[in-house]
Amino acid sequence: MPAERKDVPRRLSLTTLERVCLGALALLAFGAVIVPLLARRDPLAIGDVLSLRLVRPFATDTSGEFHLLGTDRFGRDLLVRMMMAGRLSLAVGVVGSVLAAVVGTLVGAVAAWRGGLADGISMAIADALLAIPRLVLLLVCAALWQPGLTTVVVVLIATGWMGVARLVRGEVLGVRAQPYVDAATALGARPRRVLLRHALPNALGPAIVATTLGVGNAILLESGLSFLGLGIQPPQPSWGNMIAGGRDLIVAAPWVAIAPGLALIVTVLACTLLGDSLRDRLAGESGLTLRDRA
């Protein structure tokens, strides 16, 4: 029987705040998967507009169907559309920031490991891109291609990798000077193996935190692009273009814009708070490693 270490908690204990955030995200993800499957009508198709449009929340339409959040101007159920939009927003946010982090990690690691020209060129590109506000860069990229799902993801990657690249580069440069890297090299490991197996795993902490914090941001940016008409295109729902669709109905039918906005706030809030607490946890941990190294 292996000896139990007392300093390592056996189960990851979560604070109330983390439970609430995780719960909210899980509920949203569950709803995003389940609700559109249960819908009786196609959430993209436009049916009998005149009798179904702008049904109030908690009301029943003329055909006897109940709408928890009401319907939009084309008579489509808002709850179903909101959950479909949730699929896209969550997926785009997670995929966009994770892929940006992967690209950033590769660039940063190679730049630090190879040094010289590769380092100089890649960091010059990163610095040049960092000089342009991300929103502006995002708009320019979105303007160059056909708006749509792929463009949004590609653009999020293209404008999001620089921060992580700089972080990872700094960490890898620090790790490179560690004795265990020399030890691995002395044992005959090839440079690529040393980088991938020994250096990178020890340099990823800050990059993971930055990625987690980036998810909420990516979701906000995606919905912003969609709000301006440069992201996800109707009839495909996104929280951003649903808010845009409710823009001129803000007085006649405020629920059309309010519901997706609240969904957006809850999602971004949960992602940000989780990222914050992850940072605090890892900061404690890396403080320990720093002391160990010294």
Partner 1 sequence: MGGVLHGDLGESFATRRPVGGVLLDAMPVSLLLGGTALLITFVVGVPLGIVQAARRGRATDRILTVMATVVYAAPSYWLALALVAVFTYGAATWGLPPALRLPAFGMQSPGSELHGGARLLDIGRHAVLPLTILAAIGAAGIARYARTSVADILSQDWVRTARAKGVAPRRVYMRHVLFNILPAMVVLFALSLPGVVAGSIFVESVFAWPGMGRLMVASIAARDYPVVLGATIWYAALVIFANLAADLLLPVLDPRRAG
- Closest distance to partner 1 from the beta carbon of 286 (Å): 18
Given candidates 272, 277, 279, 282, which one binds partner 1 under the rule CB under 8 A? 272
Given candidates 265, 280, 283, 289, which one binds partner 1 under the rule CB under 8 A? 265
CA-nearest of 216, 242, 217 to 231 is 242
DSSP letters spanning 181-234: HHHHHHTT--HHHIIIIIIHHHH-HHHHHHHHHHHHHHHHHHHHHHHTTSSSPT
- Closest distance to partner 1 from the beta carbon of 258 (Å): 8
Given candidates 83, 88, 126, 137, which one binds partner 1 under the rule CB under 8 A? 137
Query: What CA–CA distance (Å, rounded) separates 255 from 237?
Result: 16
- Closest distance to partner 1 from the beta carbon of 276 (Å): 9
Given candidates 251, 284, 291, 294, which one binds partner 1 under the rule CB under 8 A? 251
Identify residues 140-199 at the interface with partner 1 (CB under 8 A): 140, 142-143
Torsion sign over Cα 241, 242, 245, 250: negative
Residues that bind partner 1 (rule: CB under 8 A) add up to a total of 34
Chain CA centroid to CA 179, Å = 36
Asked if 125 is part of the footprint of partner 1 (rule: CB under 8 A), the reply reads no
HSE-up (13 A, CA, CB side) for residue 147: 18
Query: 3-state DSSP call for residue 77?
Result: strand
> What is the amino acid identity at position 122?
S
C-alpha distance across the termini of the chain, in Å: 33
Asked if 261 is part of the footprint of partner 1 (rule: CB under 8 A), the reply reads yes
* Cα dihedral 277/278/279/281 (nearest 10): 90
- Based on CB atoms, which residue is closest to partner 1, 120 or 254? 254
Asked if 139 is part of the footprint of partner 1 (rule: CB under 8 A), the reply reads yes
Asked if 268 is part of the footprint of partner 1 (rule: CB under 8 A), the reply reads yes
Do residues 163 and 213 lie in contact, with contact meaning Cβ atoms separated by under 8 Å? no
Stretch (H or E) spanning 19: helix 16-38
- Based on CB atoms, which residue is closest to partner 1, 174 or 206? 206
DSSP letters spanning 35-61: HHHH-SS-SSS---HHHHTTPPTTEE-
- Closest distance to partner 1 from the beta carbon of 106 (Å): 25
- Closest distance to partner 1 from the beta carbon of 169 (Å): 20
- Closest distance to partner 1 from the beta carbon of 247 (Å): 6
Asked if 229 is part of the footprint of partner 1 (rule: CB under 8 A), the reply reads yes
- Based on CB atoms, which residue is closest to partner 1, 224 or 237? 224
Asked if 273 is part of the footprint of partner 1 (rule: CB under 8 A), the reply reads yes
Binding site for partner 1 (CB under 8 A): 131-137, 139-140, 142-143, 216, 220, 223-224, 227-230, 240, 243, 246-247, 250-251, 254, 257, 261, 264-265, 268-269, 272-273
